[in-house]
Chains A and B, each alone.
Chain A
Amino acid sequence: MLALSRTLVCAAALLAIPAPGHADVTAKDVQVAARTFGFLATKPTGSLTLAIVYAPAIADSKAEADALSGLLGSGLAAGGVTLVPSLVPVDQLAKLAGAGAVFVTAGLSAHQDAVFAAAKAAKLLTIATDMGCVQSGKCVLGVRAEPKVQIVVNKAAAEACQIGFQPAFRMMISEI
């Protein structure tokens, strides 16, 4: 049985598709991210400020921040919350005060420690479409809507930020 398991694991590894390191947020990603708020252990309702942390000097980061801000507009309602964007330059993390959650844009790997520390201090959920941020434990929640909805939670990061998810939700996602 063990041998069979090992063989299957190896087969899976050989056929695995690497998770994308670079991410361009889409409208569907935003919908998925917004709906996950409905499965937090403490479920927020109403208007929720989503702090979009970005580095103006990093093109990928700036582009994703602008794209996300544009998608949210003056507020996007989904899953019981209305997400209102707030652009936060990575060197002004004090502005996270008052936010309901943090979106970590792509290309911020050099700043992820600082962003996570700030979010952790404020007990904020950190979200990214860059699964690398989740795998490194610097983001709690990773979402991708295409080609199939993929939701990954870093359990250690979630515990560090005192973020809990409903049990049914936990059964249906990937935890690392």
Chain B
Amino acid sequence: MPSHRPRATDRLRAILRPGTATTAAVALLLGGIAAPLSSAGAQAIDHGALEALFGEPVTTSATGKPQRVSEAPVTMDIVTADDIRRAAATDIPGILRQLAGIDVWEWGRGASDVGVRGYNQPYSPRLLVLINGRQVYLDHYGMTAWSTLPVQLAEIRQIEVVKGPNTALFGFNAVSGVINIITFNPLYDTVSNATARVGTPGYAELSAVRSVKLGDRIGLRLSAGGTSADAFDKRVRADDRQILTKPQRRAFNADGLMQVNDHSQLGVELSYSTARQNEFFPQWEMNIADYRTLSAKATYALDSDLGQVEASLYHNMLKVDVDSASFPMLNVTNGVTVARVQDLFKIGTDHSVRLAGEYRHNAMDNVAISGGNTSYSVWSASGMWDWAITDQLALTNALRLDHLRLDRKGATTVYGEQAYDRTMTKPSFNTGLVFKATPQDTVRLSAARGLQIPTLIEYGYSESRVVGIDPRSGRPIPGAFSGNPNLKPTTVMNYELSYDRTLPSIDAVGRVSLFFQTSDNIKALPGYTPTRLRGGVLPEFTFTNVGKSQAWGLEAGLKGKIGGDWRWGLNYTFERIRDRLTVNTTAITNSTEFGRETPHHKLNASIGFTAGDWEGDLYARYSTSYDMLRRSDNARQTVYDRVKVPSYVTLDTRLGYKLTDATTVALQGTAITQTAYRQTSGPAVERQVFLTLSTRF
């Protein structure tokens, strides 16, 4: 059924309709009153002040201690607030696409999967995504629904992208990389922004961000926003067209920080978001997903004689209803509670140490046969030691031990309830050597072991369904689709050598990184070849470990300025993946083949200028071809097609004009040279044009 496309202005009116939550929140923000904040002692990292001091972004995502990005012992990129403002894309995955080593698959408007260094897949579960250190990936499947993130682009100070495993700092899921979104600090930073955006197809957005200071010891940052759009509907299969939905999102966030006294701070953060979108199941099938997330977080930071002590406690709630032809109306309710305490201190002049303990409880109501829940608790202990051996040489080691206890109550899987009474204890580590050969040259050598724990769906999914018709009797054959408590975590080892070079003669910075990565015990979904036959007759399909994979690649990039007005960037990624999966030995398979789904070559280029009140940027991207699966059921059986994604070149652009010191109007376009192009085995990604009005208030 073709979707009706109302005009963008109608969309905007719909978002602004009196009585809606978005309208109320935006009105609240617009009515806020700012007061000056005098200086106070500090515990939280003041990113802005440290960046101004050192002339480069500062991060804690590499080791847990504050570091200049150029001195971090891992390969990482920082997307700054200026980069975000100048981007042609209007969402975070679109902005990340310009980085080396990043794959973004946009299944539908607002629904993207992001992979770091290959291994991208529907519901990409190898990536850890955080906002100010709080996990915002969804723990039932370790996935990230980017449209649910309760953050507006205007409140982001920087997006930190760590490539490679960092489980020793962040825990499970940080195996292909970590994306930590850092917002402006409510106590240190003043931010106010209102943005209205209309565009194609049928796109409308309204958002507002406002920081408010209450005296000189309390700061609040409030944000709210909503978007609405039409679905991509070009090159859509007939069966997918039946379930196309109009994507939309709403998000609200409140972040408060109080200076309790000169040595301690108390922080509270609340967020709520909803999102509706078409996305792709890991079974390579389009669905409609309705998300609702809620989170509450409290932090307490103290400068003491024992070091910088920080304690945090947060709870994330998720409700998602997913509907597709093969999996009608799956309802997932998931709650995760994380309590963490860490102490960061310095011994003498050369040694920094971080000690941390963490408790995590993750529970999901049983799916798809309801009743009871599947849960696990994890106790973790971790430590980091950073040794400044000389002014030029530093060695960082981090080690973490996770002890997991699995549990299941209520509706059973094919393994029975007792099989879930099990524990596992797993180590992970990061080690990195940074050698600053000269002020212009830095060499990094690192190794890391990361763990991707099975998700609650992989442990506890349970469903009975007819899997075929007995040709002799004509009777239906009952089968079971089941989670597997015996799944092993996927273990990722990463070895890396990188070299950074500043080139003052052309005002540029360059980096080359070489990496080799192995993944053992890769997990896979139930296929339609039974994992086992109960009693030699009844087919059972379970999540299983399906072998191993190896990847190696190279990333090279340069970015710089020409005079004060021009900026440019260029990066290239090469990657090869060799899968050794045990499930792909027959012609019939539904398992991901990472090697075929990862483009071998990617190239990004950008150029931009600032001239008076004008600001223009052009972004180009080239990718070689790859292919991916596509579920295609027919009346008799499930079939997986391979869909080729041809090589492509896309051009994105933004042209901004400053109407006043506070107000900017911008014209943005993505894929401007083509009506649509194929990026996935789902609907084609369409050209989008946006008109944006943004103002400080």
Contact with A along B356-394 (1 / 0, CB 8 A): 000000000000000000000000000000001111110
Residue of chain B at shortest CB distance from A38: B49
Answer yes or no: A162 CB below 8 A from chain B CBs.
no
Cα-based distance from A110 to B661 in the complex (angstroms): 53
With A12-B389, A167-B307, A171-B65 given, is the CB distance from A79 to B52 under 8 Å?
A: yes
Q: Lowest 3 A-B CB distances belong to which pairs?
A: A175-B349, A12-B393, A147-B439
Answer yes or no: A36 CB below 8 A from chain B CBs.
yes
Answer yes or no: B308 CB below 8 A from chain A CBs.
yes
From B53, B67, B307, B392, A16 is in contact (CB under 8 Å) with B392
Are A9 and B49 in touch, CB under 8 angstroms? no
Residue of chain B at shortest CB distance from A154: B349
Residues of A within 8 A of B68 (CB): 172
* 6 residue pairs from A and B, CB less than 8 Å apart: A16-B390, A39-B49, A39-B53, A43-B39, A147-B440, A167-B346
Contact with B along A71-99 (1 / 0, CB 8 A): 00000000110000000000000000000
Are A12 and B50 in touch, CB under 8 angstroms? no
Are B346 and A5 in touch, CB under 8 angstroms? no
Answer yes or no: B535 CB below 8 A from chain A CBs.
no
Answer yes or no: B6 CB below 8 A from chain A CBs.
no
From B41, B67, B438, A172 is in contact (CB under 8 Å) with B67
Residues of B within 8 A of A170 (CB): 346
Cα-based distance from A49 to B344 in the complex (angstroms): 34
Are B38 and A9 in touch, CB under 8 angstroms? no
Answer yes or no: A174 CB below 8 A from chain B CBs.
yes
Besides A172-B66, A174-B349, 6 new A-B residue pairs in contact (Cβ under 8 A), listed by A number: A12-B392, A45-B39, A147-B440, A148-B502, A167-B303, A174-B391
Contact with B along A12-24 (1 / 0, CB 8 A): 1101110000000
Residues of A within 8 A of B391 (CB): 16, 174
Answer yes or no: A32 CB below 8 A from chain B CBs.
yes
Contact with A along B31-57 (1 / 0, CB 8 A): 000000011011001100110111110
From A8, A79, A145, B393 is in contact (CB under 8 Å) with A8
Answer yes or no: B100 CB below 8 A from chain A CBs.
no
Smallest CB–CB gap between A16 and chain B, Å?
Answer: 6
Residue of chain A at shortest CB distance from B45: A168
Contact with A along B46-90 (1 / 0, CB 8 A): 100110111110100000011110100000000000000000000
Interface of B is mostly: mixed
With A13-B390, A147-B504, A175-B349 given, is the CB distance from A167 to B53 under 8 Å?
A: no
Are B308 and A168 in touch, CB under 8 angstroms? yes
Cα-based distance from A147 to B509 in the complex (angstroms): 13
Smallest CB–CB gap between A1 and chain B, Å?
Answer: 10
Answer yes or no: B518 CB below 8 A from chain A CBs.
no
Residues of A within 8 A of B42 (CB): 166, 168
Are A9 and B53 in touch, CB under 8 angstroms? no
With A35-B49, A168-B45, A171-B346 given, is the CB distance from A9 to B393 under 8 Å?
A: yes
Cβ < 8 Å to B, chain A residues 126-176: 145, 147-149, 151, 155, 166-172, 174-176
Residues of B within 8 A of A80 (CB): 39
Residues of B within 8 A of A166 (CB): 41-42, 303
Cα-based distance from A166 to B308 in the complex (angstroms): 10
From A9, A15, A35, A172, B52 is in contact (CB under 8 Å) with A35
Residues of A within 8 A of B350 (CB): 175
Pair count A-B, CB < 8 A: 95
Residues of B within 8 A of A168 (CB): 42, 45-46, 50, 66, 308
Cα-based distance from A11 to B390 in the complex (angstroms): 11
Interface centre among A80, A155, A172 (most CB of B within 10 A): A172
Residues of B within 8 A of A43 (CB): 39, 41
Residue of chain B at shortest CB distance from A8: B393
With A12-B392, A149-B55 given, is the CB distance from A167 to B41 under 8 Å?
A: no
Are A8 and B389 in touch, CB under 8 angstroms? yes
Smallest CB–CB gap between B388 and chain A, Å?
Answer: 7
Answer yes or no: B437 CB below 8 A from chain A CBs.
yes
Contact with A along B523-564 (1 / 0, CB 8 A): 000000000000000000000000000000000000000000
Cβ < 8 Å to B, chain A residues 30-88: 32, 35-36, 38-39, 41, 43, 45, 79-80
Residue of chain B at shortest CB distance from A80: B39
Are A12 and B38 in touch, CB under 8 angstroms? no
Cα-based distance from A170 to B346 in the complex (angstroms): 8
Residues of B within 8 A of A149 (CB): 53-56
Smallest CB–CB gap between B410 and chain A, Å?
Answer: 47
Answer yes or no: B650 CB below 8 A from chain A CBs.
no
Residues of A within 8 A of B303 (CB): 166-167
Cβ < 8 Å to A, chain B residues 270-311: 303, 307-308
Interface centre among B38, B52, B349, B388 (most CB of A within 10 A): B349
With A35-B49, A79-B52, A149-B55 given, is the CB distance from A5 to B39 under 8 Å?
A: no
Cα-based distance from A147 to B389 in the complex (angstroms): 22
Cα-based distance from A97 to B346 in the complex (angstroms): 33
From A15, A174, A175, B438 is in contact (CB under 8 Å) with A15
Residue of chain B at shortest CB distance from A15: B437
Answer yes or no: B123 CB below 8 A from chain A CBs.
no
Smallest CB–CB gap between A71 and chain B, Å?
Answer: 18
Residues of B within 8 A of A5 (CB): 389, 395
From A8, A16, A148, A172, B58 is in contact (CB under 8 Å) with A172
Answer yes or no: B435 CB below 8 A from chain A CBs.
yes
Interface centre among A16, A148, A155 (most CB of B within 10 A): A148
Cα-based distance from A113 to B435 in the complex (angstroms): 35
Cβ < 8 Å to A, chain B residues 492-525: 502, 504
